[in-house]
A and B are shown apart, each in its own frame.
Chain A
Amino acid sequence: MIPMSLLLTFSALLFCIGLYGIITTEKGLVALMCIELMLNSANINFVTFSAYGPWSNGSDMVGQAFVIFSIAIAAAEVAVGIAIMLSAYKISGTNNTLELSTMRW
Chain B
Amino acid sequence: MLEYAYLIPLVPAICFVIVGLFGKKTPEGGGYIAILGSIISCILSIAVSYEYLTGKLYSTGRSFEMSVEWLTVAGFKINFGIYVDILSCAMMFFASLISMLIFIYSLGYMKGEGERKRRYYAEVSLFLTGMLGLVVSSNFLEMFIFWEIMGLCSYLLIGFWSFDNPDAQQKSSAAKKAFLVTRLGDVCLMGGLFILLYVFHTLDYTAIFGRRFFSDSIFYLGKMSINHYLLFIALFLILGGAVGKSAQFPLHDWLPDAMAGPTTVSALIHAATMVKAGVYLLARTSPLFIICHRGNMALIIVAGIGAITAFFAATMALNNMNIKKVLAYSTLSQLGYMFLGLGTGSFLIWYGFYTISFGVLGLGAIVYFAAVFHMFNHAFFKALLFLGSGSVIHSCGTEDMRLMGGLVKKMRTTAVTMLVGALSISGFPLLSGFWSKDMILEAALVTGEYLYYVFTIFYILGMAAAFMTAFYMFRMWFMTFSGEPRENAQHCHGESPSVMTFPLYILAAFAMFSGVVVIYALDSVWQTWFGTNDILEIVLTSKWTPISVMVALVGIFVADLMYRMRVVNPGWFNRNGKGIIYRILADRYHIPQLYDYISWKIGYGVACIVDYFDRNVVDGVVNGLSNVVIGNADVAKKMETGYVRDYTLLVAVGVFVLVLTLFAVVKGVI
Q: A residues near B, CB below 8 A?
A: 19, 22-25, 31, 97-98, 100-105
CB of A101 within 8 A of CB of B643, answer: yes
B646-667: which residues lie under 8 A (CB-CB) from chain A? 648-649, 652
Q: Does B575 sit within 8 A of A, measured CB to CB?
A: no
In the assembled complex, the Cα of A105 lies from the Cα of B12 at a distance in Å of: 67
Given A19-B652, A23-B649, also A97-B644 (CB < 8 A): yes
CB of B649 within 8 A of CB of A101, answer: no
CB of A102 within 8 A of CB of B645, answer: no
Q: Does B640 sit within 8 A of A, measured CB to CB?
A: yes
In the assembled complex, the Cα of A104 lies from the Cα of B645 at a distance in Å of: 13
Which residues of chain A come closer than 8 Å to B25, judged between CB atoms?
Answer: none
Q: Tell me if B's interface is mostly helix, strand, loop or mixed.
A: helix
Which residues of chain B come closer than 8 Å to A104, judged between CB atoms?
Answer: 640-643
6 additional A-B pairs beyond A31-B644, A97-B645, A103-B640, beta carbons within 8 Å, are: A23-B652, A97-B643, A100-B642, A101-B643, A104-B642, A104-B643
**Total contacting residues, chain B, CB less than 8 A:** 11
Residue of B nearest to A98 (CB): B643
Q: Does B638 sit within 8 A of A, measured CB to CB?
A: yes
Q: Tell me which of A19, A25, A31, A101 contacts B642 (CB under 8 A).
A: A101
Residue of B nearest to A24 (CB): B645
Give the 8 A-B residue pairs with the shortest CB-CB distance, closest first.
A104-B642, A101-B642, A105-B637, A97-B644, A23-B645, A105-B640, A22-B648, A104-B640
CB of A19 within 8 A of CB of B637, answer: no
A23 to B: closest C-beta gap in Å: 5
Residue from the set B638, B641, B642, B649 with the largest chain A CB neighbour count within 10 Å? B642
Which residues of chain A come closer than 8 Å to B640, judged between CB atoms?
Answer: 103-105
Residue from the set B641, B644, B652 with the largest chain A CB neighbour count within 10 Å? B644
B578-629: which residues lie under 8 A (CB-CB) from chain A? none
Residue of A nearest to B634 (CB): A105
In the assembled complex, the Cα of A22 lies from the Cα of B641 at a distance in Å of: 16
Q: Tell me which of B638, B642, B644 contacts A102 (CB under 8 A).
A: B642
B366 to A: closest C-beta gap in Å: 87
Give 24 CB contacts A-B under 8 Å.
A19-B648, A19-B652, A22-B644, A22-B645, A22-B648, A23-B645, A23-B648, A23-B649, A23-B652, A25-B645, A97-B643, A97-B644, A97-B645, A100-B642, A100-B644, A101-B643, A103-B640, A103-B642, A104-B640, A104-B641, A104-B642, A104-B643, A105-B638, A105-B642
Which residues of chain A come closer than 8 Å to B643, judged between CB atoms?
Answer: 97-98, 101, 104
B642 to A: closest C-beta gap in Å: 3
In the assembled complex, the Cα of A42 lies from the Cα of B649 at a distance in Å of: 18
Which residues of chain B come closer than 8 Å to A31, judged between CB atoms?
Answer: 644
Which residues of chain B come closer than 8 Å to A101, judged between CB atoms?
Answer: 641-643
Residue of A nearest to B646 (CB): A23
Which residues of chain A come closer than 8 Å to B637, judged between CB atoms?
Answer: 105
Residue of B nearest to A104 (CB): B642
In the assembled complex, the Cα of A19 lies from the Cα of B640 at a distance in Å of: 20
In the assembled complex, the Cα of A23 lies from the Cα of B638 at a distance in Å of: 19
Residue of A nearest to B644 (CB): A97
Residue of B nearest to A19 (CB): B652
In the assembled complex, the Cα of A101 lies from the Cα of B652 at a distance in Å of: 20
Which residues of chain B come closer than 8 Å to A98, judged between CB atoms?
Answer: 643, 645
Residue from the set B641, B648, B652 with the largest chain A CB neighbour count within 10 Å? B648
Which residues of chain B come closer than 8 Å to A23, judged between CB atoms?
Answer: 645, 648-649, 652
Residue of A nearest to B655 (CB): A19
A100 to B: closest C-beta gap in Å: 8
Which residues of chain A come closer than 8 Å to B644, judged between CB atoms?
Answer: 22, 31, 97, 100
In the assembled complex, the Cα of A23 lies from the Cα of B651 at a distance in Å of: 11
Which residues of chain A come closer than 8 Å to B649, judged between CB atoms?
Answer: 23
A40 to B: closest C-beta gap in Å: 17
B296-318: which residues lie under 8 A (CB-CB) from chain A? none
A39 to B: closest C-beta gap in Å: 14
Residue of A nearest to B633 (CB): A105
Residue of A nearest to B636 (CB): A105
Interface string of B429-447 (1 = CB under 8 A from A): 0000000000000000000
Which residues of chain A come closer than 8 Å to B652, judged between CB atoms?
Answer: 19, 23
Residue of B nearest to A26 (CB): B645
In the assembled complex, the Cα of A22 lies from the Cα of B647 at a distance in Å of: 10
B513 to A: closest C-beta gap in Å: 91
Residue of A nearest to B641 (CB): A104
Which residues of chain B come closer than 8 Å to A25, judged between CB atoms?
Answer: 645
Which residues of chain A come closer than 8 Å to B645, judged between CB atoms?
Answer: 22-25, 97-98
Which residues of chain A come closer than 8 Å to B641, judged between CB atoms?
Answer: 101, 104-105
In the assembled complex, the Cα of A102 lies from the Cα of B638 at a distance in Å of: 13
Which residues of chain A come closer than 8 Å to B642, judged between CB atoms?
Answer: 100-105
Which residues of chain A come closer than 8 Å to B648, judged between CB atoms?
Answer: 19, 22-23
In the assembled complex, the Cα of A103 lies from the Cα of B637 at a distance in Å of: 12
A3 to B: closest C-beta gap in Å: 22
Which residues of chain B come closer than 8 Å to A100, judged between CB atoms?
Answer: 642, 644
A38 to B: closest C-beta gap in Å: 10
In the assembled complex, the Cα of A24 lies from the Cα of B643 at a distance in Å of: 11
In the assembled complex, the Cα of A101 lies from the Cα of B645 at a distance in Å of: 11
In the assembled complex, the Cα of A102 lies from the Cα of B649 at a distance in Å of: 19
In the assembled complex, the Cα of A98 lies from the Cα of B643 at a distance in Å of: 6
In the assembled complex, the Cα of A23 lies from the Cα of B649 at a distance in Å of: 7
Residue from the set A23, A25, A102, A103 with the largest chain B CB neighbour count within 10 Å? A23
Which residues of chain B come closer than 8 Å to A24, judged between CB atoms?
Answer: 645
Which residues of chain B come closer than 8 Å to A105, judged between CB atoms?
Answer: 637-638, 640-642
In the assembled complex, the Cα of A98 lies from the Cα of B642 at a distance in Å of: 8
Residue from the set B640, B641, B643 with the largest chain A CB neighbour count within 10 Å? B643
Residue of B nearest to A103 (CB): B642
Residue of B nearest to A25 (CB): B645
In the assembled complex, the Cα of A24 lies from the Cα of B648 at a distance in Å of: 10
In the assembled complex, the Cα of A19 lies from the Cα of B638 at a distance in Å of: 23
Which residues of chain B come closer than 8 Å to A102, judged between CB atoms?
Answer: 642
In the assembled complex, the Cα of A101 lies from the Cα of B640 at a distance in Å of: 10
In the assembled complex, the Cα of A23 lies from the Cα of B442 at a distance in Å of: 106
Which residues of chain A come closer than 8 Å to B638, judged between CB atoms?
Answer: 105
Residue of A nearest to B652 (CB): A19
Residue of B nearest to A35 (CB): B648
Residue from the set B638, B640, B645 with the largest chain A CB neighbour count within 10 Å? B645
Interface string of B363-406 (1 = CB under 8 A from A): 00000000000000000000000000000000000000000000
In the assembled complex, the Cα of A61 lies from the Cα of B638 at a distance in Å of: 47
